[in-house]
Homo-oligomer: A and B are copies of this chain.
Amino acid sequence: MTVLDSARGTVDAVRAEVCALHAELVRYGLVVWTAGNVSARVPGHDLFVIKPSGVSYDDLTPENMVLCDLHGTVVEGDHAPSSDTAAQAYVYRHLDHVGAVVHTHSPYAVAWAARGEPIPVVTTMCADEFGGDIPVGPFAAIGDDSIGRGIVDTLRGSRSPAVLMQNHGVFAVGPTARSAVKAAVMCEDVARSVHLAHQLGRPLPIPPDAVDALHDRYQNVYGQR
């Protein structure tokens, strides 16, 4: 029995979930055409599932998702994987707590990224979900480990589950696929509100201890236990 045989049920469940969650990127306006993707680990195996490259969201099925090992090599699937596969594989290799990665070019977040500016924590939603500013990673060349390394190094210096890669877009992570998608959705919402706040003046700061209290409560009390 191969690894894939033993993982079959788990792989199929991850294929279905990763496929379905792309609809949330569309619903919240985080992506146009084919520019954005979700990937998630196969729990208990050194594998992850990711969107095929350049395939429309309308045409995604659990079957055309691509299964890769943690070096981004295709293990199972008839399609080429997302062109972000190498970057996401790097994240999975280096951050054990990350169960899923989401990449978007959502417009307000890209605006902050194009200027190379972190999004300052001036709303309670930002404190709740991101625990501080949403940080910016470096401009990274394509074709080597630069993007993955930029994501990992930036996330390690922050409580934020999202990073803005300079001139590029958003990479959001989470323990589960749903939590990573949520971080991508909240990142754009915060990017937009804080953009709008700056257009007519200066937002008021939130004291650091209030940021801590909001973040702690949201991570530990919010939702169903």
Taken together, the copies of this chain in the complex come to 4
Instruction: Determine the distance from Cα of A199 to Cα of B122 in the docked complex, in whole angstroms.
Output: 19
- Interface 0/1 of A90-106, CB less than 8 Å to B: 00000000000000010
Asked if residues A111 and B186 are in contact (CB atoms below 8 Å), the reply is: no
A118 at the interface (CB under 8 A from B): no
Taking CB atoms and an 8 Å cut-off, the chain A residues in 103-121 that contact chain B are: 105, 107-108, 110-117
Chain A 209-220: CB-based contact to B (< 8 A → 1; otherwise 0): 010011001100
Q: Do A189 and B107 form a contact, CB below 8 Å, given A54-B224, A168-B124?
A: yes
Q: Point out the residue from B105, B111, B197 that lies within 8 Å of A199, measured CB to CB.
A: B111
A195 interface residue, CB < 8 Å from B?
A: yes
Shortest CB distance A159–B (Å): 17
Q: Which residues of A (192-225) have their CB < 8 Å from a CB of B?
A: 192-204, 206, 210, 213-214, 217-218, 221-225
Give the chain B neighbours of A10 by CB distance below 8 A.
none
Question: Which residue on B lies nearest to A78, using beta carbons?
Answer: B224
Of all chain B residues, which has the CB nearest A168?
A: B124
Q: Is A176 an interface residue (CB 8 A)?
A: no
The contact of A196 among B107, B202, B206, by CB within 8 Å, is: B107
Determine the chain B residues whose CB is within 8 A of the CB of A34 once the complex forms: 223
Binds B, one of A1-9, A38-46, A68-76, A137-145: A137-145
B residues less than 8 Å from A222 (CB atoms) = 53-54, 83
In angstroms, Cα B201 to Cα A146, docked, is 26
Are A114 and B189 in contact (CB-based, < 8 A)? no
Instruction: Tell me, yes or no, whether A148 is within 8 Å of chain B by CB.
Output: no
Identity of the chain B residue whose Cβ is nearest the Cβ of A34 in the assembled complex: B223
Check B114 against A167 for contact (C-beta < 8 Å).
no
16 A-B residue pairings within 8 Å (CB atoms): A28-B32, A33-B182, A54-B224, A80-B223, A80-B224, A107-B196, A110-B123, A111-B193, A113-B123, A114-B123, A115-B204, A116-B204, A117-B200, A142-B214, A142-B217, A199-B200
Q: Which 10 A-B pairs have the closest CB atoms?
A: A54-B223, A111-B196, A114-B203, A114-B197, A111-B197, A110-B193, A124-B168, A107-B193, A32-B189, A114-B122
